Amino acid sequence: MSIGIYAPVIGYFLGLSLSAPPGPVNAIIMNESRKSVLHGTSVGAGAATADLIFLTVLFMIRGIIPEWAFKYLYIVGAAYMLYLAYSVLKSKMPSKSRKGNYLIGLSMGISNPFQILWWVTAGFFLIERLELISVIFFFLGILTWIVLFPLAMNRLGRSHENIIKVFSFVVLISFSLLMIYFGIRPFLEGHSI
């Protein structure tokens, strides 16, 4: 399966798959968006900066990881995304959170074990399988989320939480299937990636 012309779309939706699931950062974004869109977006911008840091670190160390290990990372990443998809449908975003701003978003992003696990699994997929254009569209997907989500929460409030959950679920399932494909393909072909 060649990714080719789909690389920008895949990158974009991977960005959404990292940004959209309910969790502590989105809970703070939701809460801060009640004050203003800028309050919510500043939290998201902090978390996006954490993603840029993770991307840079992984890009620098990717050469020390043997190629055969990637198929296992893809399978673990797919399982993690399936877990997130399940969690999205079962969870509720907390209604209370600390005051949010850029530094809180950054510190939560850097210390969030779910975000770290996403990067050491799906993040390697982004770096190893996709192109520079995918990375650009990946951050465009994040930017879309951290602008539109606070705007939606500011205008609509909590009444549309279920729509967000369904969207997050679909995105996560889709990418878990793609990563499963790249993870099991080497086993089916009888050689490493």
pLDDT of residue 150: 92
Query: What is the Cβ-side half-sphere exposure of residue 112, based on CA atoms within 13 angstroms?
Result: 23
Note the pLDDT of residue 91.
63
Stretches where the chain sits below pLDDT 50 are 1, 93-99, 192-193
What pLDDT, on the 0 to 100 scale, is given for residue 159?
66
CA distance 100 to 5: 38
How many whole angstroms separate alpha carbon 33 and alpha carbon 147?
10
> What pLDDT was estimated at residue 139?
95
Every domain of the chain and the residues it spans: 4-189
pLDDT attached to residue 41: 93
pLDDT at 191 (0 to 100): 56
How far apart are the C-alpha atoms of 189 and 193, rounded to whole Å? Answer: 9
What pLDDT digit, counting tens, does each position of 112-155 carry?
Answer: 767 877 888 778 777 877 778 888 999 999 999 999 999 988 88
